Each structure stands twice: as C-alpha cells, then as structure tokens.
C-alpha cells in the first residue's frame, strides 16, 4: 500500500519541541472550536431556537423540538467517527484533522445565517437539522483525531499530559462561548432572542480561518509514519471488529458513561434551569464561564496525574466522585439560586468532567494498535457518544417535564448509573497489549 507521507528523520530536541508546539496549537484549537459550538448550540437550543425556528403555539412542544435538534447532531457522529477515523488510519492523522475542522467550522457559521420560521416556515428547522447533521460528521471525528494525534506525538513520559490537550481545548471553547453569551445578555435575554444569538455563530468564521492555517502546518505523527508508512501495513476497517473487539467495547462503554455525565452537567443543567427554574441565560452563561476557568487549570493537573499514576486511576477516581456528587448536583440546582448554580456547575463542569475527560486522550488511544487506532477510537467513542450524549440530557429533561412535581430523581439515577458504567469500563483497560507505558 502506498502513502504520500515521507519517513520522519531523526529529530533534535529543538525540532521535537517545535513539532510539539505545532501539535499543541492544532489539537487545542480544533477542540476549542468544537466546544465553542457545543455550548453555543446547547444554550441557543435551550433559550432561543424554540422562538426562532419552530411554531411557538405550544411553547413546551417547541422547547422539546428545539432541544431535540441538539440530539440529532449525535446521529451523524458515529458515521463521521468511523469514516474519517478509517481514513485517518489509511492516509494519516493530519489530513483528516484538517477536513473535519473545516466541516465543523463552516457549519457553525452557516447556522447563524438560517432565516427564521416566520420568514420561511418549516424550511427553517429543516435547514437547521441538515446543517447540524453535516456538522456532526466532522465533530464525530474531531476528538478521536485530536486525541490520537496528541498521544502519538508525545514522549513516553508525557502521554498523559499531551493526551489531555483536547480536554484543554474543550474548556477554552466553553470559556470563549459562555463569556460571549454572558456579554450578549448583560441587558437581559431579549437581545439574544431578537437576533443577537446570530453574532457568536457568525464570528466563529474567524476561529475557522485561524484554525485552518494552524492545522495546515501540522506534521504527521511519528508513530503513524513508523508503524504504518514505513512498514507498509495494510489498513482494513474490519480489523477493529475482528482483532480489537475488547478495546472497542471498553471505549464504547466508557464513552456512554462519560458522555451521560458530561452532557447532563453541561447541557441538561442549562435547559433545566432555564425552563423549570426561570434562571436567565446571563446566570447560566456566567456559571459555565466560572467552571471553564477552573477547568483550564484543572486539566493540566489531571494530565500530569495521568503520567504520575495512570489514566486508568484518574478515570476511576473521577467516576467514584461523580457517583457521590449525583444527588447533591440536582439538589443544588433545584434551589435555582444563582450562587448555588455557580457552585454546582463549577464542581460538575469545572472539576469532575475534566477529571474524567483529561485522561481519555491517553486512555482511549492505548486501547488499540497504531494501524487501527484512529478508526478504533472514533468508532467506539462516537457510537457511545451518540447513545448517551444526545439521549441522556434529552431523556432527563423529558422525565422532569412529565413529572407532576418536576421531580429530578430520574436524573440522579442516570448520573449514578453512568458513573458506575465509566468505572467498570476503566477496569477492563486493554492498554497493556499495545503500550509499554502505564499512562
């Protein structure tokens, strides 16, 4: 099999440092754009889109339809993870990271250009769904590509720290988008609903331009060049099901556990506070801003702990703490008080979610050999994400809406079960087969 990537020459320490600077910029920036869109879309689906893109005759139905468009994006993620993951194994990590970044970024900007329901009727939500699905194709491959790239460029004693770079990008994206929403709602939510929501979507084109420039100069990973290019290995998608089913199962179930937790912390909480507690977007956006600031410092710490203890250990500790926090999380949100909201989101989104996400770059990558690593991580994680990431917050919201007292007991159960699934999945770590390093 022929590859267009030339073999890597023996690097000096200075060249390796320069390479890793490019890798850091490329992986962090891509994850930042993905999660900039994530928080924007989650916020607007909770507050704005029901007014803009749907018939608002029945506000409750419009709100659920609006939030369901957030879940629809997850339908496309497994397809993107499998498709671009396979080509990442076949043609290289660099090319696929560039393509998926373009897909995500352009679609984010296009959402800001869709006319309202009052202007074009049913065509408006149809366009929203189509763009969201295309965007999901790119997002489905972004995390796997960024995680694998960071991991494969890292020195043996820095796999955990560099594997955490996508998690750092995630929280920088949350910070940027939440701060933008907070600024747009200084005078209340009316400006947002009356057209102000389009501004951050349209401004994302700036991030796209910078990100494309950064990713264009990204070097190919040494591990891919050595294990696939120089050895002329044949890459077949079916190999992950034939030879790596255990690793695929670990990644799949861990993704279910983590994403159910993460999306309830980050997404369900926003919709719940807005629809059932009357909390303004100004308060919820500030809570995410505070949490993101905390996480930016927490992620490097957890990455360092992955190198010191192991990514498996950090994951398990995060899962156990999440079980313990499940009931307090909902109890504090139920108060609807601003200070309690800030505290709750800070713990869930600022500490616990990063504690379980920072280790995943190294943990997920080490479940597979190099030649199927991108497709393995992309397939397992994105199928699990599609199952839990879209359904967990939507299911939790439906449980609360259908309860006569708006009880959150069902959400507490979802959180606890998801955390247990994550812990059990981490215990079945397959990494020793493909890595000599504990992280």
C-alpha 369: how far from chain center: 23
Q: Would you place residue 435 in the very low, low, confident or very high pLDDT band (cuts 50, 70, 90)?
A: low
pLDDT at 93 over 90: yes
Ordered DSSP codes for 351-404 = IIHHHHHTTHHHHHHTTS-GGGHHHHHHHHHHHHHHHHHTHHHHHHHHHHHHST
pTM, to two decimals: 0.90
pLDDT tens for 162-203 read: 999 999 999 999 999 999 989 998 888 889 889 999 999 999
Q: Would you place residue 374 in the very low, low, confident or very high pLDDT band (cuts 50, 70, 90)?
A: very high
pLDDT at 156 over 70: yes
pLDDT tens for 34-70 read: 889 877 887 888 789 999 999 988 887 888 788 788 7
Mean pLDDT along residues 366-387: 94
- Helices 93-111 and 123-153 sit at what angle, rounded to 10 degrees? 150
Ordered DSSP codes for 115-134 = PPHHHHTTHHHHHHHHHHHH
pLDDT of residue 394: 83
* Backbone dihedral region for residue 114 (phi beyond 0: left; psi -120 to 50: alpha; all else: beta): beta
| CB distance 179 to 281 below 8 Å | no
* Backbone dihedral region for residue 310 (phi beyond 0: left; psi -120 to 50: alpha; all else: beta): left
Query: Which structure tokens are listed for 49?
Result: 């889109």
Cα 215 from Cα 277, distance rounded (Å): 42
Q: Would you place residue 373 in the very low, low, confident or very high pLDDT band (cuts 50, 70, 90)?
A: very high
pLDDT of residue 5: 46
> Mean pLDDT of all residues in the chain?
91
Q: Would you place residue 436 in the very low, low, confident or very high pLDDT band (cuts 50, 70, 90)?
A: low
Cα 125 from Cα 116, distance rounded (Å): 8
pLDDT at 1 over 50: no
Mean pLDDT along residues 380-405: 91
pLDDT of residue 307: 97
SS3 content of the chain, % helix, strand, coil (to 5): 80, 0, 20
| CB distance 364 to 251 below 8 Å | yes
The correct answer on CATH 1.20.1250.20 for the domain covering 13-433 is yes
Q: What percent of the chain has pLDDT over 70?
A: 97
pLDDT at 8 over 50: no
| CB distance 39 to 288 below 8 Å | yes
C-alpha 372: how far from chain center: 21
| CB distance 198 to 112 below 8 Å | yes
Q: Would you place residue 10 in the very low, low, confident or very high pLDDT band (cuts 50, 70, 90)?
A: low
pLDDT of residue 253: 98
Q: What percent of the chain has pLDDT over 90?
A: 63
pLDDT tens for 106-150 read: 999 999 999 999 999 999 999 999 999 998 898 888 889 999 999
Task: Specify burial of residue 55 (Cβ count, 10 A radius: 0-12, 13-18, 19+).
Answer: middle
Cα 6 from Cα 225, distance rounded (Å): 8
Q: Would you place residue 2 in the very low, low, confident or very high pLDDT band (cuts 50, 70, 90)?
A: very low
The listed range with the strongest mean pLDDT (72-81, 266-275, 315-324, 423-432) is: 315-324
- Residue position matching structure tokens 């998926």: 100
**Which 3 state secondary structure label does DSSP give 435?**
coil
Provide CB contacts within 8 A for 16, sequence distance 6+: 155
Query: Which structure tokens are listed for 190?
Result: 């009316």
pLDDT at 256 over 90: yes
| CB distance 26 to 97 below 8 Å | yes
pLDDT tens for 310-367 read: 999 999 999 999 999 999 999 999 999 999 999 999 999 999 999 999 999 999 999 9
Cα 311 from Cα 330, distance rounded (Å): 28
pLDDT at 437 over 70: no
């Amino acid at each position: 099999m022929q590859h267009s990537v030339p073999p890597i020459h023996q690097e000096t320490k200075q060249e390796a440092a320069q390479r890793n600077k490019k890798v850091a910029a490329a992986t962090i920036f891509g994850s930042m754009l993905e999660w900039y869109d994530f928080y924007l879309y989650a916020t607007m689906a909770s507050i704005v889109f029901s007014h803009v893109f749907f018939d608002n005759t029945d506000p409750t139905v419009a709100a659920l339809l609006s939030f369901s468009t957030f879940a629809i994006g997850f339908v496309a993620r497994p397809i993107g993870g499998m498709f671009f993951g396979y080509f990442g194994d076949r043609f290289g990590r660099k090319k696929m990271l560039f393509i998926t970044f373009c897909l995500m970024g352009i679609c984010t900007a296009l959402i800001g250009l869709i006319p309202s329901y009052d202007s074009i009727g049913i065509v408006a939500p149809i366009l929203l769904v189509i763009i969201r699905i295309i965007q999901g194709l790119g997002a489905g491959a972004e995390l796997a590509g960024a995680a694998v790239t960071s991991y494969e460029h890292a020195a043996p004693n820095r796999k955990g720290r560099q594997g955490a770079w996508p998690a750092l990008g995630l929280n920088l994206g949350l910070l940027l988008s939440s701060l933008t929403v907070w600024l747009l709602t200084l005078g209340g939510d009316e400006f947002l609903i009356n057209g102000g929501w389009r501004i951050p979507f349209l401004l994302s084109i700036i991030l796209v331009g910078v990100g494309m420039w950064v990713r264009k100069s990204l070097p190919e990973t040494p591990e891919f060049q050595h294990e696939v290019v120089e050895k002329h290995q044949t890459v077949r998608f079916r190999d992950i099901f034939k030879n790596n089913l255990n690793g695929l199962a670990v990644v799949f179930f861990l993704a279910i556990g983590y994403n159910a937790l993460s999306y309830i912390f980050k997404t369900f909480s926003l919709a719940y506070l807005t629809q059932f507690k009357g909390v303004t977007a100004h308060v919820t956006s500030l809570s995410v801003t505070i949490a993101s600031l905390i996480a930016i410092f927490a992620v490097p710490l957890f990455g360092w702990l992955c190198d010191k203890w192991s990514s498996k250990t950090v994951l398990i500790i995060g899962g156990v703490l999440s079980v313990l926090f499940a009931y307090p999380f909902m109890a504090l949100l139920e108060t609807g008080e601003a200070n309690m909201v800030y505290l709750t989101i800070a713990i869930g989104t600022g500490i616990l979610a990063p504690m379980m996400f920072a280790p995943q770059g190294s943990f997920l990558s080490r479940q597979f050999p190099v030649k199927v690593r991108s497709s393995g991580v992309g397939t397992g994680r994105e199928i699990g994400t599609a199952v839990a990431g879209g359904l967990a917050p939507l299911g939790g919201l439906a449980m609360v809406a259908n309860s006569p007292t708006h009880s959150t007991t069902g959400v507490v159960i979802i959180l606890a079960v998801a955390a247990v699934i994550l812990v059990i999945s981490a215990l079945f770590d397959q990494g020793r087969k493909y890595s000599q390093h504990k992280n």
